[in-house]
Structure 1
Amino acid sequence: MLHGNPAPGYGQRLREEIATPGATPLIGVYDMYSASIAAEHYHGMFVSGFGFAASYYGLPDIGFIAWPDMVAFVERLRGAFPRHHLLVDIDDGYVDPEVACHVVRRLERIGASGVILEDLEKLNQVLANRTDLVVVARTDATEEADILRRAEALAETEADVVLVDGVRSEEWIRRIRKVVGDKPLLFNQIAGGKSPRLSLSELAGLGVDVAIYSTPCLFAAHRAMDEALAGLKVADGRLPAPAGESRQIGVRESTELLERNIAHPRAREAVRA
C-alpha cells in the first residue's frame, strides 16, 4: 500500500472542485476493496457511515461506530489513494464536542478532504478546530418547517456545504436552494430512499453542487454475492465456467486491481484514463 506524507490542502482541493460548474460526485465506499474499484471510475470517495457499520461491524448504522475505527480506515484509504477526494461521515461527532474536535483534527492530519457533521450544537466548535478540512453541515430533520429552518441556520454558519435530509421532490430542492442562498448544497443519493433519482446534470440544473452516492458499492456487492452463492449451491458446489465474452472476475483480475494500490499513483490514473 502506498504511504508517505500527504500533499497539503486536501480540503482546499475539494473546495475548489465543488466551486467548479456541475455537481461533484463522491462514491460511497465501505472497505479497501470497494474503494479500489471505485477509484477506477471516480476521483472522489464518500466514507459512508451506513456502509462502514455494515462492513466493519455487521450492524446497522444506529450509533455503533467507534471513532478510532473510522479514523484508522480513513488513514488506510489516504495511504492507498493519495489523489482522491475523501469525504467522511462522522455522524453526530461521537457524542461530546471535545471528541468531535479531536476526531476532526485527526482526520485533517491524516489527509481527509472533509467531514459531514449532523450535530448543530457541535458545529461551531468543529469549525473553529479545522484549518483546511471541508465541513458539511447536515440538517438531520424530517418535518418540512424544521428542514427549512435548520437549512437556513446552517447556511449562516461558516460551514462550507449544507446537506439537507428529507428531500422528497425536485420542488423541495428548489426551495432549499433558495433558503441556503449562495452556500454550496449537497444531495444524498441512496438506493431505496425517498429522494428522487436524478442525474448529475439534473442536479446541477437544480443548483446542487455535490452528490454523494452512499451505497452503490455495498448494495451491488450484496446482490452479486447472494446470486453467486445461490448459484454455487444449485450447482452442488461446482464453480461456473467462464462466462464467454462477459466480464469475468478471477484471481488475475482481482490481483491486478489490488497491485495498483502498491504502484505509483499515476499507474491508476493511466488505467482510468
Structure 2
Amino acid sequence: MSHGLRLRRAIADTGTTPLIGVHDMYSASLAARHYDGFFLSGFGFAASHYGLPDIGFIAWPDIVAFAERLRLAFPAHHLLVDIDDGYADPEVACHVVQRLERAGASGVILEDQQRPRRCGHADGKRILPLAEYLEKLRMVLDSRDELVVVARTDAVEDEEIRRRAVALAKSGADVVLVDGVRSVESIRRVRDAIGDTPLLFNQIAGGKSPRLSLTELSALGVDLAIYSTPCLFAAHEAIDRALRELKAADGRLPDTAGTPDAVGVRESTRLLERNISRHHAGRGAGV
C-alpha cells in the first residue's frame, strides 16, 4: 500500500488523526516513540536548517532531501510535508510534488500566499488571486498519483475564508486547511462550508488558533490535526535551561547516574540505533 493511500485511510477513520511537527532527525526519532505520523513543518525546518524565520527562505531541494532522510529512517510513519506556495512557480510546484511522492511522502500542503510569504499565524499575510491559486492547485493535483494534497488558504476575513474554503473543497483537493483560524465558531463555519471534504486544523504554541484537544477537534468534525512546533519549542526551552545550569555549575556536567530520566551517550545511541533496526524485522526492533 502506498504512503498516500495509508494516510487517506487514516483520514477516513473515525476521530482526528494527529501529525507531530518535526524539525530534524533527532526530534523525529523522539516523536516516533509516541506518534505514528509526522508533519514536516516549514517553521521548524527554516529554524533548524537555516536558523531563519519561516518567511520564504526554504529551498525545495533541501525539503526533499529531509523528506528522503525521514522516510528512510521511518518507513511506516505518515509524512505530511509543508511546501509553502510550491516555491512560487506552478511547474516547480509540480516537480517538487512528484519528487516528494517518489521519496515516500504521504502528502503535501500547498498554500495560497503571495511572496514574500509569512508564517500562517503571523500578521501581514497576502494571498494570491483565487483563480491563480486554483490553477496552480489543479496542476499539482494532476501531477500526483496517490499523494494526499491539502489545499490551504491564509485568508483572514470571514467572507473570504468561506469563499475560498468552498472553492478549495470543490477543486478536487483531498483536504482543506484554513490556517490561523481564530475561534471554535470559525472552525464550525468552515466545516459546514466544505461539506464532506476532510478538514485539517493547525495548532502552534502562541499562535492565533484556540488550543483544542483531539477529542474536541473530533467533535468539531476535524479529520486531521498538525502540531507544528512542539518538538522545536521544547528543544528551545530544554537546551537553554541545560546551558544555563552548566554555566552556573562552572562547566561541570550533571551526574546522570541513578537518575531515571537523564539522557547520556547510551540512551541517545539506543534511540538512534532504532532508525537502523526498523528496516530489519528479524533484529527484533519495533516501529
**TM class by shorter-chain length?**
over 0.9
Residue 66 (structure 1) aligned with residue 59 (structure 2): yes
- Contact 2:278–2:285 (CA<8 Å) still a contact in 1? no
Would you identify which runs of 4 or more consecutive aligned residues in structure 1 move more than 3 Å? 243-246, 264-272
Residue 30 (structure 1) aligned with residue 44 (structure 2): no
Aligned with 2:183 (options 159, 169, 192): 169
CA distance in 2, matches of 1:29, 1:126: 24
CA distance in 2, matches of 1:269, 1:103: 36
How many equivalent pairs are there?
265
- Contact 1:40–1:268 (CA<8 Å) still a contact in 2? no
Alignment of 1:36-115 (within 5 A): 36-115=29-108
State the secondary structure of the residue aligned to 1:262. Answer: helix
What is the identity, as a one-letter code, of the residue corresponding to 1:254?
S
Residue 208 (structure 1) aligned with residue 226 (structure 2): no
Larger mean CA deviation between 170-179 and 141-150 belongs to 141-150
State the secondary structure of the residue aligned to 2:218. Answer: helix
Residue 17 (structure 1) aligned with residue 31 (structure 2): no
CA distance in 2, matches of 1:225, 1:111: 32
- Contact 1:40–1:271 (CA<8 Å) still a contact in 2? no
Hey, what does 1:259 align to over in structure 2?
A: 273
Hey, what does 2:130 align to over in structure 1?
A: none
Aligned with 1:186 (options 200, 210, 223): 200
CA distance in 2, matches of 1:260, 1:254: 10
State the secondary structure of the residue aligned to 2:187. Answer: helix
- Contact 1:86–1:112 (CA<8 Å) still a contact in 2? yes
Unaligned runs of 5+ in 2: 113-132
Hey, what does 1:3 align to over in structure 2?
A: none
What is the identity, as a one-letter code, of the residue corresponding to 1:228?
A
CA distance in 2, matches of 1:77, 1:264: 12
Structure 1 residue 75: Cα displacement: 0.4
Structure-1-length-normalised TM-score: 0.93
Unaligned runs of 5+ in 1: 1-7
CA distance in 2, matches of 1:243, 1:264: 29
Structure-2-length-normalised TM-score: 0.89
CA distance in 1, matches of 2:223, 2:278: 31
Structure 1 residue 170: Cα displacement: 1.1
State the secondary structure of the residue aligned to 1:42. Answer: coil
* Identical aligned residues as a percent: 72
- Contact 2:149–2:173 (CA<8 Å) still a contact in 1? yes
Residue 196 (structure 1) aligned with residue 210 (structure 2): yes
State the secondary structure of the residue aligned to 1:260. Answer: helix
State the secondary structure of the residue aligned to 2:81. Answer: strand
